[in-house]
Amino acid sequence: MMTSTASADVSALLGVYARVGPLFVAGEGCELIAEDGTRYLDFVAGIAVSALGYNSPVIRDAVLRALDSGLIHVSNLYRTEPGERLAAELTKSFGGHAFFCNSGAEANEGAFKFARKWSKQTDIVAFTGSFHGRLFASLAATDRPDYRRPFEPLLADVHIIPLGDVAAARQAITKERTAASSSSRCREKAACARSPTSFWPSCGSTAMKPEPH
């Protein structure tokens, strides 16, 4: 039987999430291990974000190397070899430059800022059913009324249009106003989005042409 080394006091945690289940003390592969030794298959997988499993030897070795160096975390103001090496590997596949941040929501916030700065436009267009995060701009692009309502008014000039509606996209996405459109075709909080095959290529255009009359 496995036991925890410290008493758990969930009351000290801010009640943002409704925590369920037992107290977990270890993990292995895709399983979580409770303090009584019971193993649970983890279908949540970091809410489909950190789907890395538990106690991976690759990750374990990387963490141990970091411990040995003493550089567990340093400011973005400083250079480190692992960070620069990871950025170089990412840009081999995706091009451009790497921007490291703490979450998908922060990545979306950064993307909105980059888009507005580069395009000199203001509008962000998102789609029904989307989830982009709980930060202020990413929440404005998230189609979850219960999440949005307590914090309204949210960021201005963010518009949510029906997924798959080419006419609505043509009206909303224009070179005169639009900085970016944000879509989540495979969603961590819902099934993969389904839409006509012609829809996504249309949304990828720099500016959509108006419907012919």
Phi, psi (deg, nearest 5) at residue 158: -110, 125
Percent of the chain exceeding pLDDT 70 equals 81
Residue-range definition of the domain harbouring residue 32: 22-75
Among 75, 91, 112, identify where a domain stops.
75
pLDDT at 75: 87
Q: What is the pLDDT of residues 81-118, one digit of tens each?
A: 989 999 999 999 998 999 998 888 999 999 999 999 99
30 in the same domain as 111: no
pLDDT at 9: 67
Instruction: Give the span between the Cα atoms of 29 and 52, in whole angstroms.
Output: 9
146 in the same domain as 57: no
Q: How many domains does the chain have?
A: 2
Q: Is the dihedral of CA 50, 188, 192, 171 positive or negative?
A: negative
pLDDT at residue 142 tops 60:
yes
Residue 211 domain flag: no
Q: Which is nearest to 126 in space by CA: 94, 168, 167? A: 168
Residue 135: band (very low, low, confident or very high) from pLDDT cuts 50, 70, 90: very high
199 in the same domain as 110: yes
pLDDT at 209: 46
Residue 62 domain flag: yes
pLDDT at 210: 45
CATH number at residue 125: 3.40.640.10
CA 202 to chain centre: 24
Q: What is the pLDDT of residues 8-65, one digit of tens each?
A: 566 788 888 788 889 999 999 999 999 999 999 998 877 766 788 899 999 999 999 9
List, as one string, the DSSP characters of 6-50: S---GGGS-TTS---S--EEEEEBTEEEETTS-EEE-SSHHHHHS
